[in-house]
Structure 1
Amino acid sequence: MDGIPPASSFGELLRFQRERAGLTQQCLADHASLSVRALRDMEAGRVQRPRQETVRLVADALGLRGRTRSVFEDTARRRAPVEETVAPPAPRGAIIGREREAESLTQSLTAHGDRLLSLVGLGGVGKSRLALDVAWRTHQSAGWPVRWVDCGRVAQPPRPARPAGTRGPDAGFEELAGLIGDRPTLLVLDGADEAVGPAVLDELFGRCPELRVLITSRAPLGLDGERVVPLPPLAVPGPGTDPGAAMESAAVRLLLAHMRRLRPDLELDPADRPEIAELCRYLDGLPRALEYAAGWTLLESPASLLARLAATPFSLPAPPVTLCERGDLRAALDEAHRLLSERQREVLTLLAAAPRDWSVDEAAAVSGRSAPEFLLTVHELLLRGLVRLVPARDGARFAVLNLSRALCRERAGALAPAPAADGPAPRPPFAAALAS
């Protein structure tokens, strides 16, 4: 007997050698300075390719020598056969209006070598839905496994914790790294606001050379090597756009798709086209808001719905039936505003005081700030999705989202002093300059 059984996997060989040495899992784990969970996962095959350092510690603890040790280490390095490719969650509908973004992000991950992409933007703008489409394109076109983590549903994400007085990586992290190995794999961390530590990704990237990570969050996380991709609302038809051409904009196409999902026999009255285009403009092309609005068109015409929203901008709750996440439009904006710095909040309030688009130089002149400083702040607001770019021939222009503008004005009104009995109401700062 040379101590080499006809084992088909490293887990089986490890169990054979442990039992042959008369050790329990706990005893072997203690001798190898590992957690018993890590050892149990290796024996069960949940860790397909353990780290060489881990294998060395276990071999030392088992007292393996010569050919027996060589076979033990070679088996640990051998890739286990893959029976199936892990797929992402199944989407519940076609993606509309984001086709170009989906193709570009897929190419960035699979062909251009980007290892860490962060998709950032306002709540309800469609980050998770776009990430899901990218995951499916990657899975189907490149054949990569996709591991999807809903960070909003886990108390703590896997991380390589090392308690004081112990050696070796955390078993959960070890399992994840072992499952990925050196195969090209996409890991999606959905809703990872403040939930990802740099050490986690650094070690994963080091352990898994072909790993790609796609993150969705409300703002950039400031991670090393992070390529930030801001996701703006869908394109809306501009004022004065021909009604027929307006129906081809991304926001209108999504709104009509949701309306037809509820009413498959819907035939659009040409007289409704201007109101539908205006409704999409008013809701800023936000996918969640458009789906909510479509649900209520079962009871209201686009014109009456638009009139109601104009009076009370945030009176658009989720309808009884919806595919997207149930939430509140105001809550998403409140959260985005709450996370702003004082400087960002001041600039946003300034820009929201007048319904127009701006160039950086124009807005900087009104604010009294330098153009470079103002440019930096506007860039930060763009990343957070509260400001959108406006197509223009004379260079980059931008505008505050309508709903964000309404929230700013509402807050300014709540904080403004009561008007004097014998004079007009005081105007908010910069209002006169902005209105001119």
Structure 2
Amino acid sequence: MTTGLSPEGTSTATAAIGVLIRGHRLRIGLTQRELADLSTISVRAIRDLEKGKALRPRADTVRLIADGLRLGPRARAALEDAARRGSQGGAGRHQLLERCAPPVPLHPMIGRQAEATVLAEELRSGAERLITVVGLSGVGKTRLALETAARLHDAGLPVLWHTAPGTASDCLPHDGDPLTALATTCAAHLRLPDRPTAPPHATESGTQHLDGPEAAAGTPYGFGGRDAQPPAELLAALGDRDALLVLDGADCARLDFARLSRLLRELPGLRVLVTADAPWDVPGERLFLLAPLDAPRPDGTPSADAPAVRFLLSRIRRARPDIVADERSLGDVARVAHGLDGHPLALAAAASWLTVCDLPTLRGIVETDPAPLLDHLSDGTSGSHLRDGVTRTLDGLPAGPRDLVARLCAAADADFDLDEVVRLTGRPLPDCGRMVRALLIGGVIRPSTDHGRSAFRLLRVVRALAAIPPAISPAPAAVAASAAA
């Protein structure tokens, strides 16, 4: 019986002899020492082959290794063919990986240099191998991931980039990327299988039990595929090389931690960067909270250096290049930036309104009721994207934090601290601390240092959208009358 990596699952452009040997060895769970004992080949020779230092092994060496791996005829033939091609396979694989670059962003990054530096260094050094960037929809998670991926690519790491279907992406994908399909395959491998439609059955105690795949998918951390093999083409393409996999806009509730753990074990150089609305909450995850851009205090001296002001000015230039950043206009820009809490997508939407109103009018609307401004005039999808994202985040909150948001919306639009949360909810301090943490992770509040103390602010974007009443359905009587007519 053939075991291990099959030649059909491996691209001929990447099937170097060492990659095939390593793939077969890992598939059947052998260490290099164990393979050396079975094949009578030295550990050093096997290590050199797997690392690409030896590209043309002797025919009897290949035969002994194939015997040790217990390969069938087809896998043995693929191994012998890779040995005959010698350095061509290694060179092709190296050139292929060098071309794996992240998508190209459409706009420069503003105000995230510190965050990008931290992420790039943690991933480059291998200090963190799984980082999840979370934040409110439209806060700039994808743009930060693009910058981080670009820095790592400049440092020599190939980047496999996958954008989840339906995710808004402000970038130009590399259509010619030879491993785009591989990134898609890897993302599909990490997704939990769909649950069956059969309902669970209840025991005598009233608890429900799940059978089959649904039981596996419902276990902690999403252990839905313990026996699933990593994609053969991914093992063949990367081997021991350092690489970055980006899952942009991932739904962490649908990711399989068991499969990721195995992937990280078998690809020791792989790092994974995830952008999501909510954390994965799995062992080894580095949670990176992304807050909106820093905005200036409204009572301070206007300055064009604040990140939120710089971002808003860049969007204003696109809508109204005639607006000059003088002292008066900077004051209005600073107040708009502060009124929208430095939220990038909200600022971009507000700037689009300058095609139909002036800057003082825009400032007045923001300070009165910013909700109408959250729809981008030139792009109807941006407004719904922001509204849907905020709604999804609020709906996903536990009952306690969701109730706290409702109380904050009913209270004055001001900063609050833990003492105020205790007063509003009447709950113990530890419970209040956990609720505030949940809101920070969801991105619906942000830390505030306006008054030199530890405080928080409910985003006005959240306050505005949370206060919008749902669409009113017609009364049953009206529906009946319309039907009768």
- TM-score normalised per structure 2: 0.68
User: Match of 1:228?
Assistant: 287
Say whether the 8 Å CA contact 1:149–1:189 is kept in structure 2. yes
SS in 2 for 1:383: helix
Say whether the 8 Å CA contact 2:192–2:254 is kept in structure 1. no
Counterpart of 1:83 in structure 2: which amino acid? Answer: Q
Counterpart of 1:233 in structure 2: which amino acid? Answer: P
Q: How many residues align?
A: 369
The reply to whether residue 144 of structure 1 matches residue 157 of structure 2 is yes
Q: Paired residue for 2:299, among 222, 240, 247?
A: 240
User: Match of 2:438?
Assistant: 380
What is the CA–CA distance in structure 1 between the aligned matches of 2:320 and 2:373, rounded to whole Å? 23
Q: Paired residue for 1:182, among 233, 240, 263?
A: 240
The reply to whether residue 261 of structure 1 matches residue 275 of structure 2 is no
Say whether the 8 Å CA contact 2:293–2:307 is kept in structure 1. yes
Say whether the 8 Å CA contact 1:232–1:388 is kept in structure 2. yes
- Sort the Cα spacing of 1:102 and 1:217 in 2 relative to 1 into closer, same or farther, 3 A: same
- TM-score normalised per structure 1: 0.75
User: Match of 1:291?
Assistant: 348
Give unmatched runs, 5+ long, in structure 2.
30-34, 39-58, 70-78, 167-183, 194-211, 214-225, 473-485
What is the CA–CA distance in structure 1 between the aligned matches of 2:15 and 2:282, rounded to whole Å? 27
Counterpart of 1:90 in structure 2: which amino acid? Answer: V
User: Match of 2:264?
Assistant: 205
What is the CA–CA distance in structure 2 between the aligned matches of 1:409 and 1:169, rounded to whole Å? 46
The reply to whether residue 70 of structure 1 matches residue 83 of structure 2 is no
User: Match of 1:40?
Assistant: 8
User: Match of 2:127?
Assistant: 113
Counterpart of 2:267 in structure 1: which amino acid? Answer: C
Alignment of 1:300-311 (within 5 A): 300-309=357-366, 310-311=368-369
Q: Percent identity?
A: 31
- Sort the Cα spacing of 1:173 and 1:33 in 2 relative to 1 into closer, same or farther, 3 A: same
What is the CA–CA distance in structure 2 between the aligned matches of 1:311 and 1:395, rounded to whole Å? 28
- Sort the Cα spacing of 1:362 and 1:266 in 2 relative to 1 into closer, same or farther, 3 A: closer
The reply to whether residue 83 of structure 1 matches residue 95 of structure 2 is yes
Q: CA RMSD in A?
A: 3.5
The reply to whether residue 389 of structure 1 matches residue 359 of structure 2 is no
Q: For each residue in 1:394-418, what CA deviation from the matched residue of structure 2 results, as whole angstroms up to 9, or x when unmatched?
A: 6421111112123344459x9xxxx
User: Match of 1:369?
Assistant: 427
Range 193-202 or range 312-321, more displaced: 312-321
1:70 Cα offset (Å): 2.8
Q: For each residue in 1:192-227, what CA deviation from the matched residue of structure 2 results, as whole angstroms up to 9, or x when unmatched?
A: 113421012101101111111110000111122000
What is the CA–CA distance in structure 2 between the aligned matches of 1:249 and 1:67, rounded to whole Å? 64
SS in 1 for 2:142: helix
What is the CA–CA distance in structure 1 between the aligned matches of 2:152 and 2:297, rounded to whole Å? 34
Counterpart of 2:268 in structure 1: which amino acid? Answer: P
SS in 2 for 1:252: helix
Say whether the 8 Å CA contact 2:228–2:259 is kept in structure 1. no
Say whether the 8 Å CA contact 1:358–1:398 is kept in structure 2. yes
Q: For each residue in 1:71-104, what CA deviation from the matched residue of structure 2 results, as whole angstroms up to 9, or x when unmatched?
A: 6578779982301411111111210111111111
- Sort the Cα spacing of 1:359 and 1:326 in 2 relative to 1 into closer, same or farther, 3 A: closer
1:298 Cα offset (Å): 2.7
Task: Report runs of 4+ in structure 1 exceeding 6 Å deviation.
Answer: 54-57, 73-79, 160-164
- Sort the Cα spacing of 1:329 and 1:305 in 2 relative to 1 into closer, same or farther, 3 A: farther
1:161 Cα offset (Å): 9.0
- Sort the Cα spacing of 1:373 and 1:190 in 2 relative to 1 into closer, same or farther, 3 A: same
User: Match of 1:52?
Assistant: 24
Q: For each residue in 1:364-411, what CA deviation from the matched residue of structure 2 results, as whole angstroms up to 9, or x when unmatched?
A: 133211111100110111011001000166642111111212334445
Give unmatched runs, 5+ long, in structure 1.
1-30, 415-436
What is the CA–CA distance in structure 1 between the aligned matches of 2:351 and 2:415, rounded to whole Å? 28
SS in 1 for 2:188: coil
SS in 1 for 2:189: coil
Q: Paired residue for 1:157, among 183, 188, 194?
A: 188
